[in-house]
Chains A and B, each alone.
Chain A
Amino acid sequence: MDAPDFDELEWMAQQENPFPDCMQHSLDFEQEHEDVEFSHSAELSPELIPPEETWSPPAVGADRKRSFSPALEPDSRKRGKTSDNESFHDFSSQKVVENDWVLPQEAEWSPASPKIKTANCERVPNVDSKLPARRLADIEGNFMPITSPSGDRVYAEVKEARNLFGSLQSIHNSYRNSKHAGLLSESFEVLLDQVEQNLLKQDCRIVEGRDAFEDSMTESAVHEPLWVEKYSPKSFTELLSDEQTNREVLRWLKQWDKCVFGAKKTSTSLDVLAALKRHPPTFRTRRTADREGISAKNGVIGAESGSKGIQQTDMFSNQSINSKGSVTSSANKPLDDRPEEKILLLCGPPGLGKTTLAHVAARHCGYRVVEINASDDRVASTLQAKILDAVQMKSVMGDLRPNCVVIDEIDGALGGADGKGAIDALLKIAYAGTKELSGKVNEKDEAVIKKASKKNTSTTATLSRPVICICNDPYAPALRQLRQMAKVHVFTQPSVNRVVTRLKYICSLEDYKISARALTALADHTECDIRSCLNTLQFLRKKKESLNMLDVASQVVGRKDMTSSAFDVWGEILQKRKPKHGINIGSSGTSFGYGQEINDFLRLHDLLANHGDFELTNDGVYDNLTHIRYQDSSLQKMVQCLELLGDSEITSCYALRHQNFALTVYQPAFLLAIRRLVAQPEKPFMEWPKTFQRFRVERSAKHDLLRSWMLSMQPVTHRNFTAECLAWDLVSHLLCILAPQRLRPVAPQLLSQTEKEEMNELIDTMIAYGINYKTTKFGIDNVSEVQGPVLYPPIFKLVRFKDYKMEHPLLSSTLRQVLSHEVELEIIRRESLARAARAMSIASELQGLSLAAAGLQKDITMTTKVDDAERKPIPVNAFTESSKKKRTDATVAAKQLSKAPSKLAADAFARFRIVGVRNGKVEKDSRASNALAQRDSRPIFFRFNEGFTNAIRKPVLIRDLI
C-alpha cells in the first residue's frame, strides 16, 4: 500500500526538472498540495465540514474556505514558487484517506478522530499541537496564520504529512478531467497521452476500489465523448471563428450590460461576477415584479403606463396597481438602455462554430445560456412562452446569472406559416417595448385602452435580455423581417490553415498520428467544416485507421450534401476547368488525363443530378449559349447543342405527360454532351435566364388582351374567330381597314353622301368588333407620339414587334375623336332602337288599354330610354305592368312623369347629343320608330361648351320633349 504506484514514479520522474527546489525541500509536500487542490475540487466537498468544526469554531470553516480558494489559483500557475507554497503549506496539509487504512497522526490531536476513521475521504489539518498557538514564537518551522471571526489571530504549526498514499492516482485522474480546460503546459500533454494509452491497455486492472477513477475510465472506454464536444472552445480566445466577428458579437452583448446588470461595465468576467454580487437586490425586485405582472394579466402594461397616466388604472385589478408601484422604478428604466438592435442574427454555413461562439460569448459576458433549438417545438405560441420565460424568469437553482436566449437553427424548422408566426412573435417581443412606450404617450382615450388591453395578451412582454438567433441561410423567406430588424453577422470560412492547426492540435492531444497534408485535404473537402472534420477523424480513430489521401477522395469520408447554386451549375457546364491543382484524386492506375476526365464526368453528373432543376439548368444554358466563344465555323456545334436541348425538352415533356419520371435520369447526359461541345477555359459571362419567363408573362398578357377583346365583340362576329385566328389573320388587316385615309377630318355634317356611307360602315365595323377610340390619361405606354384617343382594346399592341416599323396609318386626331363620338352614339342609338322595338311589341300586346294610357306608357318608355337603369327588358315589363294596373290612377302616372326629368338630368348630355347630331346627319336607315321621328320634328338647339359638363341648367318641360 505504501509502495508508490508505477504511475506515481513515472510522474515524479517527469516532474523532476520543473521543480528542483520542491523536490529538494520535500517531495511529499508537492504531492500533497496537488492533492488538496483536486480533492477539493473533484471530490466530496460536503465532508469538508466535520473536521473543521472539531478544531475551530464553525464559522472558521467558511473563512478557511475563502482563504483557501485564492491560494489555489496562483498555485496552478506558479507551481515552482516555494515561498508561496510554504505560506499555506501548514494549513493545507491534508490528505485523502482511503477506505481501509488510518493515518498514524490522527490519534494525536483529534477529538473527531473516530469520525474521520469512518469517513471515506477526508481532509485533516495536520497540526502539531491540539490547539493553535497564540504566539508565533511558539512555533518552530512552518506555520499557518488563522484569523477567527472574532478577530483573534492564531498560528498553527504545520507538520509535513509523510504519507500521501494513493494521491498520485487522483492526480492523474483529476488532470485528465481538467486538462482540456486549457490549463496545462506542453509537458503535461505528453504525460497525459501516455497515461491515456496506459489506461487503454490496462483498463481492466484499474477497476479496483477507486470510484472516481473507475467511473471516468469506463466512460472513456465505452462512451467516449464526441471530440467536437470534448475540444469545443471553452474560452473566448480559443474560438476558431473570425476575430472580427467574435469581437462584434461580444461588443453587442456588452451593450446589454447596462440594461441587464444595471451599471455600465467594461469588463472581464470577474467584473461581471462582481457586478452580479453587487446587484442581486434589483434582480429580486424585478423578478417579483415580473411575476406579479404576469399573474395579473395587465401587469406590465399597467406598470409601464403607470408613470404616464392614472386614468388607465381603473381597468386593472388591485394587484396590478400594487405591482405598478414596484415596477415602474425598475422595469422601465433598463429598457431604454438596450442596444439599437435587440436581436443578433448569426448566419453562415454549418460547422463554422456559430453556436459555439454564441455560447462562449454569452458565458464570457456572464450570462446563463438558454438554448432553443430545432429539436424543440417552435410554433409561435410555444416560442413566445419560452422566450418570455427565459427573459423574465430566473433559474431558481443556484445559478444567479441572467439568461441569454440562443435560438439555434432558426431557419431550418421555421418553414411555412408557423415559422412566420414564430418570427413575428419574436420580433414583437423584441420591439414591443419601444413601440408601446411611444404609442402610449399621446394616446389616452378609451379606444386606445381597449386596444392595448386586447393587444397585451401578445405584446405585454418587453425584451430585457439578449437574444441571439442562429441560422444557415439568412435569406430564408421566413427570416426576411428578422433580417431587417436584427444585427446580422455573416460567418465566413476560416482559413484552411487555421482549421488544420486546430485539427493537428487535437490530433496530438488524442495521440492520433496524421499527416498535415491529409488534414489539409480533409479540411478542403469539407469546406472547413470543423465539426465534420472532427467527426471524421474520431470515426477513423475509433476504427484504428489512419487518414490518407485516398480516403478523402473516396466515400470513406462522407461528402457533405452540398447544394450548389444554379449559377455554379451553369458555370460548370460552360466552363472547362483546368485540371485540379496537382492533386490527382483517386486516379489509381489509369493514366492521368483519362482518369481526370472520368472523374470530371462523374462529378459533373452527380452535380447535375443533385441539382435537379433541369428546366432551369436548360434555360440557363440556352440563354447563355450564344455568348460563349468557341470554334464553330459552320455552326455545327450550335446545331448540335440546340438539338440536344430540344431532346432534353422533349424527354422531360414526355416524362411529364406520361408521368414516367424515371426518364429524368437521362437529363444530365444531355447537358454533359453540351458541355463537351462548347465548354471553354475562360469564364463565361452569365446571366440569369429571364427571357423565357418574360416571354411567358408577355404572352399571357397578350392572350388576355385577345380574350377580353373577343368578349367585347358582338356575338355574331365572336363565333367566327378563335383567339389565334384573331392574332394572325385579322388584326393587321383590321387595323388597315379601320384607318381609311380618304376620310376627311371634318365634322360629319360636311361629308358627302358616299363619305358618310363609308363612315357609317366604319362605325358599323367598329361596333361589330367592339372597338372604339378612347382617350387615355397618359397614352398607353410608349405610344406617346400618338395624341388624342387611341384604339381600345389596344389591338395595335398585337402587331407591335421589336425592331419593326408598323406601317399602319393612323387617322388624324380629330377624326378619331369624331369617330369615338359617333361610335358611342351609334351604340346608344341601337340600344334605344332595340328597346323601342321591344316596347312597341309590348305595347301592341296590351290590347285592352285605353289610348291615353298606352300613349303615356310609350312616352315614358321613350323618355327613360337613355337611362342606364332601364337597359333590361324586365324593368320595362314591370313598369308596363304597373302602369297597366294603375292606368286609371292618374296621379301615379303624373308622378312617374315628374320623376322622368330628374332621371334625364343625369344623362342629359347623351340625349341632347343625339338630338344635336341627328339634326346635322342624314338619317341612315329607316329603322327609326315614329316616336323618334316625332321627337326630331321638334328639335332643341343648344350650344355645347367643351370641358364644362354640368353646364346645362335650362329648364325643359317634359311636354316639350315629347
Chain B
Amino acid sequence: MLWVDKYRPHALDKVMVHVEEAQQLKQLVAQGDCPHLLFYGPSGAGKKTLIIALLREMYGAGAEKIKVENKPWKIEAGTRKLEVELTTISSNYHVELNPSDAGFQDRYVVQEIIKEMAKSRPLDVAGNKSFKVLVLNEVDRLSKEAQHSLRRTMEKYSSACRLILCCNSASKVIEAVRSRCLNIRISAPSKEEIVKVLQHVAKKEGLQLPLGFAARIALSSNRNLRRAILSLEACKVHQYPFTEDQSVQSADWEQYIVEIASDIVNEQSPKRLFLVRGKLYELLVNCIPPEIVLKRLLLELMKKLDSELKHEVCHWAAYYEHRMQRGQKAIFHLEAFVAKFMSIYKRFLIATFG
C-alpha cells in the first residue's frame, strides 16, 4: 500500500487536519441522523477522507466493506433508449458514484439512476439507520440541467436517503442545491499541517525526516496533502537517508510546464507560440485539467518575472481563466494567455532594454 492509503485516517477522531470539522461532523451524526451535505474544497485537502470517516462513524465498520461495480445502465428517456456506463462503489449502506462520467447524459443519470437508488429504502439490517447515503462526486461538473433535476430528488426522497455531494468549487453548484445542503468547506491544509502529517508518517515508518526537507516538500506540494505524502514516499524510494538539501520529486507535468515557461520567456514570436501550443496540447491530452495547467504556468512564469509585471500578468491569467470556464475549448484561452504574456513581456523588454 502507498503511504497515502496506509495512513489515511479511518475515524473522525484520528484526523490530523481539519480536526474541528471532524468533530462537528461527529456531533452532527451523533444523533443518528444528518442533513444532506456538500463538501467542497481543493483537491488533496481531505474531503474524501472525511466522507469515508463520516460513513464509518454512521454505519460502523460495515461501511468499509465495499465493492466496485461497473455496469451499463439502461435508461428510457422519453422515446429514446440510452445506455450509460457507470461505476459505482457500494457497501451495504451507501453508494458512491460519479454522475458526471456520463458526460452530456448526466441528466438521465440523475433523473433515473439516482432517483431509483434514492427511492429504495435499505433493508434495516441490524437495527441501524433507516436511511442510506448516496455519495456523488464531482457535482460541480454536472450540467445545469442535471443539477436542477437533483433538487427535487433531494427533497422528495429525503426520508430514505441522504446525499453527500463532493466537489472542488461550490460556485459551480447551483444555489438551489447548495441551499438544500449543509455546506462544509474543506480548505487546503496549511504548510504547517502538512509538515505535521509528514512527520507523523515518517515516525510511523521509522524514518528520520529533517524538518527543512519536510517544509520543502510541503511547499512544493502547493498545500496538497496527497501530493505531499506521495512525494515524500517518492523521495524515500529515490534516496533514503534524507538530507536537508535533497531534491523534491515533482510531477512530470510540472517539469514539463517549467520547460514551457522557459520557452515562453526565452523567445516571443508566433513560431514559438506555435511550439508552445503543441506542448499545451500535450498536457491536455494527458488529462491534466486546463485550470491547473494555467495556474501552474502562471506560477512558473512569475518566478522569472520582474515584479513590475506581476500584477498585470496575474490579472490576465485570471481573465483568461474566467473565459476558459465559460468556453469549451480550453486551448484557445490558454494560448491567448500565452500570447498575451508574450506581448506584455516583449513590450516590457523593449521598453527596458531598448
Contacts and interface: CB of A to CB of B under 8 A. Distances in A.
Are A and B a genuine interacting pair, yes or no? yes
Interface residues of B, number: 77
Interface string A22-41: 00000000000000000000
Nearest to A799: B252
A727 B350 CA distance: 40
B178 interface: no
Given A635-B343, A643-B336, A801-B279, A711 B87 contact: yes
Interface string B273-307: 11001110111111111001000000000000000
Interface string A625-650: 11000001111101100110110011
B230 A728 contact: no
Interface in A749-770: 761, 764-765, 768-769
Given A638-B343, A729-B43, A729-B230, A695 B281 contact: yes
Interface stretch (A505-513, A699-707, A901-909): A699-707
Interface stretch (A272-280, A454-462, A473-481, A736-744): A736-744
A717 interface: yes
A646 B237 contact: no
Contact of A720 (B8, B98, B270, B285): B8
A645 B282 CA distance: 21
B279 A803 contact: yes
A717 B5 contact: yes
A729 B224 contact: yes
A804 interface: yes
A213 interface: no
Nearest to A809: B238
A692 B333 CA distance: 14
Contact of A716 (B66, B233, B237, B256): B66
Chain B contact surface mostly? helix
A802 B279 CA distance: 7
B292 A728 contact: yes
B96 interface: yes
Given A698-B285, A804-B252, A645 B274 contact: no
Contact of A733 (B249, B331, B332): B249
Interface string B242-257: 0000000111110110
A654 B326 contact: yes
Interface string B322-345: 010011110111011001101100
B270 A626 contact: yes
Contacts of A699: 284-285, 287
A724 interface: yes
Nearest to B43: A725
Nearest to A647: B323
Contacts of A765: 1-2
A498 to B, nearest CB: 46
Contacts of B230: 729-730, 733-734, 737
B267 to A, nearest CB: 11
Contacts of A716: 5, 64, 66
A804 B259 contact: yes
Nearest to A726: B287
Given A695-B331, A715-B67, A716-B66, A722 B137 contact: yes
Interface in B160-206: none
Interface size class on chain A is 35 or more
A733 B289 contact: no
A562 interface: no
A736 B237 contact: yes
B138 A711 contact: no
A736 B238 CA distance: 7
A719 B135 CA distance: 11
B279 A728 contact: no
A329 B5 CA distance: 87
A395 interface: no
Contacts of B249: 732-733, 736
B236 to A, nearest CB: 8
B318 interface: no
A642 B336 contact: yes
A117 interface: no
A801 B89 contact: no
Contacts of B237: 736-737, 739-741
A801 B256 contact: yes
Interface in B68-107: 68, 70, 87, 89, 96, 98
B340 A639 contact: yes
A628 to B, nearest CB: 8
A563 B55 CA distance: 62
Contact of A728 (B2, B288, B340): B288
B271 interface: yes
B68 A732 contact: no
A634 B343 contact: yes
A807 B250 CA distance: 11
Contact of A703 (B2, B48, B287): B287
A638 B335 CA distance: 10
Contacts of A645: 332, 336
B277 A626 contact: yes
Interface string B207-234: 0000000000000000010110011011
Contact of A649 (B281, B288, B328): B328
A646 B292 contact: no
B323 A733 contact: no
B346 interface: yes
Interface in A66-113: none
Contacts of A635: 268-270, 273, 339, 342-343, 346
A639 B336 contact: yes
B285 to A, nearest CB: 5
A710 interface: yes
A646 B48 contact: no
Contacts of A804: 252, 255-256, 259, 282
A806 interface: yes
Contacts of A633: 346
A598 interface: no
A653 interface: yes
A382 B328 CA distance: 48
A740 B238 CA distance: 7
A626 B98 CA distance: 40
Contact of A653 (B68, B256, B268, B327): B327
B340 to A, nearest CB: 5
A434 to B, nearest CB: 45
Given A716-B5, A736-B238, A801-B256, A649 B286 contact: no
Interface in B33-76: 43-44, 48-49, 52, 64, 66-68, 70
A622 interface: yes
B278 to A, nearest CB: 6
A715 B259 CA distance: 37
B52 A719 contact: yes
Contacts of A914: none
B323 A646 contact: yes
Interface in B137-162: 137-138, 144
Contacts of B332: 622, 642, 645-646, 649
Contacts of B292: 728
A901 B343 CA distance: 77
A702 B283 CA distance: 11
B277 to A, nearest CB: 7
Contacts of A723: 287
Nearest 4 interchain pairs by C-beta = A642-B336, A733-B230, A736-B234, A799-B252
13 contacts: A632-B270, A638-B343, A715-B67, A722-B137, A723-B287, A730-B226, A737-B237, A801-B252, A801-B279, A802-B279, A804-B256, A804-B259, A808-B252
Interface of A: 622, 625-626, 632-636, 638-639, 642-643, 645-646, 649-650, 653-654, 657, 691-692, 695, 698-699, 702-703, 706-707, 710-711, 715-720, 722-725, 727-734, 736-737, 739-742, 761, 764-765, 768-769, 798-804, 806-808
Given A626-B270, A718-B89, A804-B252, 11 more contacts: A642-B339, A643-B336, A695-B285, A715-B68, A717-B2, A718-B68, A737-B2, A737-B230, A765-B2, A802-B278, A808-B252
